[in-house]
Amino acid sequence: MNWLTSREREVVLAVAQGLSNKEIGRRLDLSEGTVKVHLHNIYSKLGVKNRTALVVLAYTELVSVRPRPHANSKFEKAELQFA
C-alpha cells in the first residue's frame, strides 16, 4: 500500500489494534480531529467505507501478525506490523 503516508500507516495499525480515535490521537500526539481527517483520507485511498472494513483489509492485506514472546493476555499476543 505505497500510496499511504507513514502517518496514515500508523493510524491504520492503531485502528487494527482496536484503539479509539481519542486513543490514537494520544498515542501519535494528534488531535482527535486530525485522526478523523487521516481516517477519511485512508478510507478514500483504500476504497473502504468504514472502520470495520479498514480493519478487515488491514488484517487480510496490510499487516502480518507475529506472536509476541511474553504476552500477558490474549489481546497482547500479537504484534501488528506492515508486511
Q: How far apart are CA 38 and CA 15, in angstroms?
A: 11
- pLDDT digits over 28-77, tens only? 999 999 999 999 999 999 999 999 999 999 888 755 555 555 555 444 44
User: How many C-beta atoms lie closer than 10 Å to residue 30's C-beta?
Assistant: 18
Helix then strand then coil, % of the chain, to nearest 5: 60, 10, 30
Q: How much is the pTM?
A: 0.74
Placement of cell 488484517 in the chain: 59
- pLDDT digits over 14-32, tens only? 999 999 999 999 999 999 9
Which domains can be identified in the chain, with CATH numbers?
Answer: 6-82 (1.10.10.10)
Short-list 26, 44, 48, CA closest to 35: 26
